[in-house]
């Protein structure tokens, strides 16, 4: 996130949100990889700032021989780890700059992970074409229509296939965006679903992030025909002193910072109409 532009909470529709995400990640990809590349590794799968690794968590189960879709992959570090475990990953991201970093890491590590530029709300993949799908803070927080993401993932998964994704824990939206003591102060309603928007002087969004409550996430998952198996809230490790933006040892030892949703596609597709999950939660007009 930038610090020199006006910040507010307001509605941000899908087209504006997607454009802001692509521009922001394209402009900031090099800085992001330089700052966080060592933490993420070239071929590692880290679910979030708490350093929960798939190597130990095994939330995806056995990936050997499985075709896996990485959603909002960034530079595809997770996919390279999956390839090393015998999986057949395909990684996609909205940002061309992030994918260029992924291509460079592919070359550096001699790992040929296919990289695709795509929007998570409209996937260019065939129905039932993947065994598993995963995302470590990718796409889900940055799209206006996360219910559409759930439906698209359900569509491209084979029956019984797992979809596991991590995102900012919804409770964090109540608190100030600060890694220090000021970040322990509640300043917003948990139920305010308006987007966090940074915009330039002309009112054009330059960065957008979207809030959903735990209940919203569950309803979106269920409406897509997915079965929720677990919600993992990683605890902050005692030996981790490295902060990541507003994620810090101080806050991490007092409240959850990440939520990992573990789901699987049911044996039949849901017939729920588009947007029904959000309608049950009070509708999208609140965002």
3-state secondary structure labels for all residues of 104-137: HHHHHHCCCCCEEECECCECCCCCCCEEEEEEEC
Show the tokens assigned to 260: 């990992």
pLDDT for the residue 275: 42
Predicted TM-score (pTM) of the model is 0.91
Residue 277 has pLDDT above 70, yes or no: no
> 97: how many CB neighbours lie within 10 A of its CB?
19
pLDDT of residue 267: 77
Q: What is the pLDDT of residue 7?
A: 83
- Domains observed in the chain: 7-282 (3.40.50.150)
Mind listing the pLDDT tens digit for each residue in 21-60? Answer: 999 999 999 999 999 999 999 999 999 999 999 999 999 9
Tokens of 222: 């269920």
Is the pLDDT reported for residue 20 higher than 50? yes
For 237, other C-beta atoms within 10 Å of its C-beta total 13
Q: What is the pLDDT of residue 78?
A: 98
Give the 3-state secondary structure of residue 167. Answer: strand
Q: What gap in Å lies between CA 144 and CA 147, rounded to an integer?
A: 9
pLDDT confidence of residue 268: 66
pLDDT score recorded for residue 5: 66
pLDDT recorded at residue 269: 57
Tell me the average pLDDT of the chain: 92
Taking residues 223-244, report their average pLDDT. 97
Q: How far apart are CA 28 and CA 2, in angstroms?
A: 10
Which residue do the tokens 């949703």 mark? 261
Percentage of the chain lying above the pLDDT 90 cut: 90
pLDDT digits (tens, 9 = 90+) for 75-94: 999 999 999 999 999 999 99
Distance of CA 216 to the CA centre of its chain: 15
Q: Do residues 248 and 180 lie in contact, with contact meaning Cβ atoms separated by under 8 Å?
A: yes
Report pLDDT for 81.
98
Share of the chain above pLDDT 70, in %: 91
Neighbours of 203 (CB within 10 A): 9
Q: In whole angstroms, what is the distance from residue 198 CA to residue 163 CA?
A: 30
Q: Is the pLDDT of residue 220 over 60?
A: yes
Res 144 pLDDT > 50: yes
CA distance 209 to 194: 9
Phi-psi region of 277 (alpha: psi -120 to 50; beta: other; left: phi over 0): alpha
pLDDT digit string, tens, across residues 49-77: 999 999 999 999 999 999 999 999 999 99
């Amino acid at each position: 996130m930038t610090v020199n532009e006006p910040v507010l909470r307001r509605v941000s529709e899908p087209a504006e949100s997607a454009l802001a995400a692509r521009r922001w990640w394209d402009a900031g990809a090099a800085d992001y990889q330089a700052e966080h590349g060592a933490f993420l590794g070239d071929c590692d799968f880290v679910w979030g700032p708490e350093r929960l690794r798939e190597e130990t968590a095994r939330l995806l189960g056995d990936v050997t021989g499985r075709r896996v879709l990485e959603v909002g992959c960034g530079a595809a570090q997770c996919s390279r780890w999956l390839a090393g475990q015998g999986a057949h990953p395909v990684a996609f991201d909205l940002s061309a700059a992030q994918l260029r970093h992924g291509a460079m890491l592919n070359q550096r590590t001699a790992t040929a992970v296919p990289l695709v530029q795509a929007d998570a709300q409209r996937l260019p993949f065939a129905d039932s074409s993947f065994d598993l799908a995963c995302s470590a803070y990718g796409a889900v927080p940055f799209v206006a229509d996360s219910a559409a993401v759930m439906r698209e993932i359900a569509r491209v998964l084979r029956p019984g296939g797992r979809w596991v994704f991590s995102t900012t824990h919804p409770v964090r939206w109540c608190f100030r965006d600060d890694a220090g003591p000021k970040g322990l102060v509640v300043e917003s309603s948990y139920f305010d679903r308006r987007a966090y928007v940074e915009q330039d002087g002309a009112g054009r969004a330059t960065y957008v992030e979207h809030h959903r409550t735990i209940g919203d996430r569950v309803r979106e998952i269920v409406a897509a025909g997915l079965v929720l198996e677990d919600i993992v809230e990683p605890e902050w490790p005692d030996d981790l002193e490295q902060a990541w933006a507003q994620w810090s040892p101080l806050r991490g030892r007092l409240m959850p910072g990440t939520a990992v949703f573990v789901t699987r596609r049911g044996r039949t597709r849901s017939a729920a109409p588009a947007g029904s999950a959000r309608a049950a939660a009070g509708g999208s007009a609140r965002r």
